[in-house]
Amino acid sequence: MPRVPRQTICWERQFDAMTRAPQQGTDVAALSEQDAVAELARLAHEIAEHDGLYHQLDAPEISDAEYDALRRRNAEIEARFPHLIRPDSPSERVGAAPETGFAKLRHRVPMLSLDNAMGAEEFGEFCTRARRFLGLPADAPLAWVAEPKIDGLSINLTYERGRFVRGATRGDGTEGEDVTANLRTMDTIPDRLHGHAPALIEIRGEVFMTKADFLKMNEAQAAAGQKVFANPRNAAAGSLRQLDPRITAGRPLSLFAYAQGESSEPVADTHWHYLQRLRDWGFRVNPLSRHLRTEQEAAAFQAEMATERSGLGYDIDGVVYKIDDLRLQARLGFVGRAPRWAIAWKFPAEQAMTVLQEIRIQVGRTGALTPVARLEPVNVGGVLVQNATLHNEDEIARKDVRIGDTVVLQRAGDVIPQIVSIVTERRPKGAKPYEFPTVCPVCGSHAVRVPGEAVRRCTGGLICEAQRVERLIHFVSRPAFDIDGLGEKTIREFYEEGWLHSPADLFRLPAREAAIAEREGWGKVSARNLARAIEARRRISLDRFIYALGIRRIGSTNARLLARHYGSFDNWRREMLAAVGPGSEGRAELGSILGIGPAIAEELADFFGEARNVRLIDELAAELKIEDATRTEMRDSEIAGKTLVFTGSLETMTRPEAKARAEALGAKVTDSVSKKTDLVVVGADAGSKARRAGELGVRTVTEQEWRQLAGFD
Ligand code: IVH
């Protein structure tokens, strides 16, 4: 087994991938219909993207819990607005990506787990229980086989007449997933057993990844912009659960065989002998496995493995001790889901103490600020550790971590160490509570926290170096500028070349047509096509332009609302600048657009409050011809150009329908009544808005009158 040299690990990408979290929304009960439309669209898109990442690329970017939360939210919104269920809704999608994508396979003999012993005493108790159960005297000799416990993924392999026919993951112990095709790609799983084998036999073992292979694979994943795994176990599991076996084939998986399930004939009388048969059939058995005759030998082996552990090529978290005699194993049987004849004697988690020198804030590709502890280098279980995750702002406050503190570090399976506790007695005098920055360390923009989210995010977007590529990818995406032939890969390629800094640079690419044609994988025709596709998008609708900027919470629906409300780019720009001040009239107008509201108004104000964003927009607009939003269908309608407010409940049409109708006629619909309001449509049970209209002398009409004005009747 390869030994792993002392190593430092490049964390940056790992943290980035791990801290990305889906956007959380407001309470479903408080969503307006407009918001629901926008959010269902976002969820459909996001869930489809995560499905693809998970099923096709084995590069999930969010945890299962986060994914489930997205689906749950989608279902909740759909339950409240059933008429808004989209044809491409994630809840309607069946077949393409079933629950797991794999068929279920029943194990002939259940796959069990192991009880744990946390020290010599508990191991002794296990031995006593076994002897007592067998009716043996307390000092009766017993023999064990000890095997290092690798934290991987157990699998069940079925061989019929010596041929590998099926293989499944453990699953719930009774039923697992059929991963036969993937297991066939592993060269440590023999296709045919050598020598004589029973007509039917189930062989069990652990699929795992070595530390070196894991680090190498993560490096490659990171370089390709793909998900990196937190630890070798996740990497092994993710690699085996691939729908496309070609992906598994490229992953460095290994297997140690160690147990048996069903067998049509007995193959050995002791476990030690069984391990030999496994080797003879062509399996790899952990060479460190040892035959032991006393509890003292077991304790010595445990100590030996604890010392060897850090130098092994793979992670182990303990040693499994199995009573060697298979007849005794059969008599002992099981209790609950664990055998009485085996136990996992676990190692304590690897810990070390060191000093926290600095807290660095790392900005992820989506703007999330992640605190990383910079430590005085220390060896934890053979890995030289200089960084540890601090998760987020609340976690730092909860632990009251201060710079200069002595901290206890722990590596428990995961490659990224955790700070377990602070040794407060060693706290230097004058150490101050840590203040989490409220500006982005990369671009200097505000970093804000949305209520309910643990993550603080940079608002810099396109002006933040850490987020630029991601934002440019959004900029050219289908609902935004939709530039043919300019996908993620090309954006990254040109960014690395230094050609793309801001969105305006995209429109300078046609001038580089000759240079692009010279590049590997390009050529005259594709360079020409790209230049044409870009030129074609110099003319752009105002709503797409707004959406492309990637301002937080401005999805395509909100972008359309803004475009319709403000009409032209110049007007929108002017009004947004007028809305920067929190109490300004511009802000009030913005917040009163139906479907926008004060929270979104604040996002826009934040964005325009940053001079660099305004410069970026102006620079971009200079390259473009931004088309005015179509305001009216019937310019001569009586309400074209008027500002309307609906209040009370309408009986003959829904509020969204009334609003859509009004907008189609060229009216502007707002939420609150002001001096600027031209007309208030008063439905049943109207309250303060109708009163206010009266006070301000604004014209009011009944629902019936509104229907006539709008041409319904
Ligand atoms: S024997 C009934 N042997 O540990 C016996 N398990 O905690 C069941 N494991 O699911 C398993 N190394 O994934 C056995 N040498 C070993 C093992 C081992 C690792 C894992 C296996 C199992 C888990 C139980």
Q: Which of 320, 322, 341, 343 to mutate to test the pocket of ligand 1 (most atoms within 8 A of CB)?
A: 320
- % residues pLDDT > 90 (the chain): 54
Single out the residue of 410, 380, 348, 323 nearest to residue 119, CA to CA: 348
Position 265: which residue type? E
CA separation for the pair 403, 33 (Å, rounded): 48
Q: Whose CA is nearest to atom 12 of ligand 1?
A: 149
Question: Of 219, 228, 159, 169, whose CA–CA distance to 194 is shortest?
Answer: 159
Mapped onto helix, strand or coil, the DSSP state of residue 359 is strand
Arch. (CATH architecture) of 643-709: 3-Layer(aba) Sandwich (3.40)
Question: Smallest Cα–Cα separation from 580: which of 553, 604, 556, 550?
Answer: 604
Residue 114, ligand 1, Cβ within 6 A = yes
- DSSP code string of 63-123: -HHHHHHHHHHHHHHHHH-GGG--TT-TTT--SSS-SSSS-EEE-SSPPP---EE-SHHHH
Q: What is the pLDDT of residue 550?
A: 92
What was the pLDDT predicted at 94?
Answer: 34
User: Closest by alpha carbon to 320, among 408, 369, 258?
Assistant: 258
Give just the sign of the alpha carbon dihedral 245, 251, 252, 256.
negative
Phi and psi at residue 541, in whole multiples of 5°?
-75, 155
Question: For residue 413, what pLDDT is reported?
Answer: 59
Q: How confident is the model at residue 47 (pLDDT cuts 50, 70, 90)?
A: confident
Q: Which residue in 255, 257, 379, 381 sits closest to 316, CA to CA?
A: 381
153-169 mean pLDDT: 95
The CB of 290 under 6 Å from ligand 1? The reply is no
What's the gap in Å between 220 CA and the centre of ligand 1?
30
d(CA 6, CA 51): 37
Active site residues: 149
What is the best residue among 206, 274, 314 to mutate for testing ligand 1's pocket, by most ligand atoms within 8 Å of CB?
206
* 342 CB within 6 A, ligand 1: yes
- Decide: residue 628, CB within 10 A, 0-12 exposed, 13-18 middle, 19+ buried: middle
CATH number for 116-346 (one of 1.10.10.60, 3.40.50.2000, 3.30.470.20, 3.30.470.30): it is 3.30.470.30
Does the beta carbon of 154 lie inside 6 Å of ligand 1? yes
Strand ranges for 311-382 from DSSP E: 316-323, 334-335, 338-339, 342-346, 350-363, 368-380
Contact 38, 556 (CB under 8 A): yes
Rounded distance between C-alpha atoms, residue 380 and residue 375, angstroms: 12
pLDDT band at residue 665 under the 50/70/90 scheme: confident
Name the class of domain 464-537. Answer: mainly alpha
Q: Is the pLDDT of residue 578 over 70?
A: yes
Residue 300 identity: A
Among protein residues, the one whose CA lies closest to atom 17 of ligand 1: 149
- Ligand 1 center to residue 259 CA distance, Å? 8
- Closest to 71 in 3D by CA, of 43, 45, 29: 43
Sign of the dihedral defined by the CA atoms of residues 422, 426, 427, 428, in that order: negative
Q: Of 422, 415, 427, 348, nearest to 388 (Cα)? A: 415
Q: What is the pLDDT of residues 363-382, one digit of tens each?
A: 988 889 999 999 999 888 66
Q: What is the mean pLDDT of residues 613-640?
A: 80
pLDDT tens per residue across span 209-258: 999 999 899 888 877 767 778 788 888 999 999 888 998 998 999 999 99
206, 258 contact by CB (below 8 A): yes
pLDDT at 57 over 80: no
8-41 pLDDT tens trace? 333 333 433 333 333 345 778 888 888 888 888 8
pLDDT surpasses 50 at 392: yes
Point out the ligand 1 atom lying closest to the alpha carbon of residue 344: 7
Given a cut of 60, is residue 431 above it in pLDDT? Answer: yes
Given a cut of 50, is residue 352 above it in pLDDT? yes
Taking 90 as the threshold, does the pLDDT of residue 62 lie above it?
no
- Phi then psi for 138, rounded to 5 degrees? -60, -25
CA distances for 136 relative to 129, 133, 272, 326, 710, angstroms: 10, 8, 22, 16, 94
**What is the distance between the alpha carbons of residues 504 and 621, in angstroms, rounded to a whole number?**
8
- Nearest-atom number in ligand 1 for the CA of 153 is 13
Structural domain boundaries in the chain: 6-93, 116-346, 351-427+440-449, 464-537, 541-627, 643-709
For range 497-526, the mean pLDDT: 95
Residue 668 Cα to ligand 1 midpoint, Å, equals 67
Protein residue with its CA nearest to atom 15 in ligand 1: 147
Report the topology of domain 6-93. Answer: Helix Hairpins (1.10.287)
Residue 1: what pLDDT? 39
351-427+440-449 has CATH 3.80.30.20 classification: no
> How far from the centroid of its chain's Cα atoms is residue 355's Cα?
31
C-alpha–C-alpha distance, residues 549 and 481, integer Å: 10
Q: For the structural domain made of 541-627, what CATH number should be given? A: 1.10.150.20
Mean pLDDT over each residue of the chain, to the nearest integer: 86
Pairwise CA distance, residues 169 & 22, whole Å? 29
Residue nearest to atom 11 of ligand 1 (CA): 113
Domains 464-537 and 541-627 share a fold: yes
pLDDT single digits (tens) 300-349? 999 999 989 878 999 899 999 999 999 999 999 988 788 999 999 999 88
63, pLDDT greater than 80: no
CB 648 within 8 A of CB 684: yes
Q: Inter-axis angle of helices 468-475 and 488-497, to 10 degrees? A: 130
Query: Residues 457-479: what's their mean pLDDT?
Result: 91
